[in-house]
Amino acid sequence: ENQKETLGFQTEVKQMLHLMIHSLYSNKEIFLRELISNASDAVDKLRFEALSNSELLESDADLAIRITHDAEANTLTITDNGIGMSRQEVIDNLGTIAKSGTAQFLQSLTGDQKKDAHLIGQFGVGFYSAFIVADRVTVVTRRAGESEGVRWESSGEGDFTIESADRDRRGTEITLHLKPDCTEYADGYRLRNIIRKYSDHIAVPVIMVKEQLASEDETEVKAPEEETVNSATALWTRPRAELKDEEYQEFYKHVSHDFEDPLSWSHNKVEGKLDYTSLLYVPARAPYDLWNREVPRGLKLYVQRVFIMDEAEQFLPLYLRFIKGVVDSNDLSLNVSREILQKDPAIDTMRGALTKRVLDMLGKLASKEPEKYASFWKEFGQVLKEGPAEDYANKEKIAKLLRFASTHSDSDEQNVSLTDYVARMAEGQEKIYFIAGDSYTAAKSSPHLEIFRKKGIEVLVLYDRIDEWLMQHLMEFDGKSLVSVAKGALDLGALDSEEEKAKQEKVAEEYKDLVERVTEVLKEQVDEVRITHRLTDSPACLVVGEMDMGAQMRRILESAGQ
């Protein structure tokens, strides 16, 4: 165990490093935010483990992050006294990318550096961003409770070395040997600026040695004085009025491991029967693994400002799984576990309230900032469509948030709300009509739409896989039933003029014999043959019975092997 080993990076790490260095060159300084974010996470984890094992604190209970620099050596060092890493943890965390689906993600990159920078952003680059500014990185770390330290070193190309190391204190020290063109990051004033800009919200103190003006008397040696550079209070505990948008945005990047600003957020303190604070964010972009059900997701849970766990999934329903943020409870016990969370009735109450918060935040976004809402809908609309089936109690609220393509706008863009639709309904129209198909083009060219076009009645055009499932659970909106134009007899009677009705009766009489003959011929294949007034150009069409599954739903079940 003691000898020095050279190990290769996982292929994905190599690809990631290459991409990062080439696509983030214009935003180099964010490496420091990432390293401070990791140090803060490490301190949170130590504090949490020390709740049940106070020996881990050793004689070093003042938790802090220290940043030192050496302009002569062109180095920068970030030190924390957090949880540290064992040898195996170093190999796993700093040699591989643990997230599932990384390989596919990397394949999806375009090679266009601007676009890839965005993609990498939402993927989160973390520790490896050190190599944007450093041509060599040294990590010396000791896991709390373990006696032996580990030293890791790499130049960010193909491999890294690992060996045992002496380290008298717990925690991690990361030294960046800066690239020749990155000397600015060995400057105290520049570093302070970056820390205040990106890491002010970090609850752990970020400490630096005070800059000393060159003394005239070189023989006078002053002891270095330290100062805390950030505000070092948990951001969500501060009053809303005091917080700037930029602070909320930077905090988001820390909790979500996202690179981009969030679209919106909602910060609330609840007092009364339950006492908790929540800070919930809507990301701007869907993560590449939104549809992977195995990926853990949820809020960061704190109890009385002590970090308890990441990805506490009990606080929001699955259809809101894209929401990021923090919940800090004053009621839960510090030794709360996932199992306890599942059973605690207080959690149900919080989940109900947080769900409403998110739906209200989205409702507000839709009414106040429709452009942002449109971009939200593009990213997350399909997930929200799971809502009515999962959360019956909030069906009406969710329904107001839904957006569809429609014959009114004649484009595949989903931008029509049910409220818009109802406001435009024709005189005498009592139902909300929709057509569902495998694609926008297939749906909108359905012969079922002919009569609606002729009568000038708007029809929602649904083409997402989940749409028929959604309609089955939604059933109605604002007291009006949602009806597929491809199902059953269309009762457009109320919309017909007297003249038209008379004409229809006459036609029915004239073709009675024909209908009987066709019924006889097709009786094995269809339930019923009817004269229809719904077609204007096509001679005939197949209709699904009112109680039958829609064609799209049937295909979904078939492809699932049912």
Main-chain dihedrals φ then ψ at residue 64, nearest 5 degrees? -160, 165
Question: What is the spatial distance between Cα 107 and Cα 545, in angstroms, rounded to a whole number?
Answer: 45
- For 136, the token pair is 């060599």
Q: Least separation, in Å, of the C-beta of 171 and Mg ion? A: 16
Q: Least separation, in Å, of the C-beta of 198 and Mg ion? A: 13
- Overall size of the chain counted in residues: 562
Residue in 126, 262, 387, 388 binding Mg ion, rule: CB under 5 A: 126
* Cross-strand pairs, 312: 299
Question: What is the spatial distance between Cα 40 and Cα 22, in angstroms, rounded to a whole number?
Answer: 27
Q: Least separation, in Å, of the C-beta of 88 and ligand ADP? A: 12
Q: Are 65 and 79 in contact (CB under 8 A)?
A: yes
Q: Which residues bind ligand ADP (CB under 6 A)?
A: 34, 38-39, 42, 80, 82-85, 93, 124, 126-127, 172, 257
125 is in an annotated binding site: yes
Query: What is the dihedral sign for C-alpha 281, 286, 290, 291?
Result: positive
Residue nearest to Mg ion (CB): 126
Give the nearer residue to ligand ADP in terms of CB position, either 124 or 387: 124
Give the nearer residue to ligand ADP in terms of CB position, either 31 or 380: 31
Q: Least separation, in Å, of the C-beta of 199 and Mg ion? A: 12
Q: CA–CA distance from 360 to each of 266, 401, 454 (Å)?
A: 9, 10, 38
Residue in 15, 23, 38, 102 binding Mg ion, rule: CB under 5 A: 38
Q: CA–CA distance from 510 to each of 26, 469, 498 (Å)?
A: 77, 40, 19
93 is in an annotated binding site: yes
Q: Least separation, in Å, of the C-beta of 34 and Mg ion? A: 5
381 is in an annotated binding site: no
* Cross-strand pairs, 159: 8
**Sequence letter at residue 17:** L
124 is in an annotated binding site: yes
99 is in an annotated binding site: yes
Q: Least separation, in Å, of the C-beta of 78 and ligand ADP? A: 8
- For 164, the token pair is 């045992």
CA atoms within 13 A on the CB side of 537: 9
Taking CB within 5 to 8 Å according to partner kind, which of Mg ion, ligand ADP, none is near residue 80? ligand ADP
Give the nearer residue to Mg ion in terms of CB position, either 47 or 448: 47
Taking CB within 5 to 8 Å according to partner kind, which of ligand ADP, Mg ion, none is near residue 39? ligand ADP
Give the nearer residue to Mg ion in terms of CB position, either 38 or 278: 38
Angle between helices 345-368 and 370-384 (to 10 degrees): 140
Question: What's the longest Cα–Cα distance across the chain?
Answer: 117
Give the nearer residue to ligand ADP in terms of CB position, either 129 or 382: 129
Q: Least separation, in Å, of the C-beta of 555 and ligand ADP? A: 39
Region near Mg ion per CB under 5 A, out of 122-130, 247-255, 455-463, 483-491: 122-130
**Sequence letter at residue 93:** N
Give the nearer residue to ligand ADP in terms of CB position, either 257 or 385: 257
Residue 15 Cα to chain centre, angstroms: 24
User: How many amino acids of this chain bind Mg ion (CB under 5 A)?
Assistant: 2
Region near Mg ion per CB under 5 A, out of 36-44, 64-72, 149-157, 391-399: 36-44
Taking CB within 5 to 8 Å according to partner kind, which of ligand ADP, Mg ion, none is near residue 484? none
Q: CA–CA distance from 306 to each of 5, 144, 253, 339, 437 (Å)?
A: 38, 18, 19, 19, 50
- For 121, the token pair is 């952003």
Main-chain dihedrals φ then ψ at residue 308, nearest 5 degrees? -110, -50
34 is in an annotated binding site: yes
Give the nearer residue to ligand ADP in terms of CB position, either 321 or 487: 321
Q: Least separation, in Å, of the C-beta of 384 and ligand ADP? A: 26
Q: Least separation, in Å, of the C-beta of 214 and ligand ADP? A: 33
171 binds Mg ion (CB under 5 A): no
127 is in an annotated binding site: yes
Q: CA–CA distance from 167 to each of 64, 164, 173 (Å)?
A: 17, 9, 10
Angle between helices 467-474 and 551-559 (to 10 degrees): 120
100 is in an annotated binding site: yes
Question: What is the spatial distance between Cα 154 and Cα 167, in angstroms, rounded to a whole number?
Answer: 19
101 is in an annotated binding site: yes
Q: CA–CA distance from 47 to each of 44, 312, 540, 562 (Å)?
A: 5, 18, 72, 50
Measure the CA angle with vertex 387, ends 325 and 470; round to 5°: 150
Rg (CA), the chain: 31
84 is in an annotated binding site: no
Taking CB within 5 to 8 Å according to partner kind, which of ligand ADP, Mg ion, none is near residue 387? none
Contact residues for Mg ion, defined by CB under 5 A: 38, 126
Residues placed in the known binding site: 34, 38, 80, 85, 93, 99-101, 122-127, 172, 338
Residues placed in the known binding site for ATP: 34, 38, 80, 85, 93, 99-101, 122-127, 172, 338
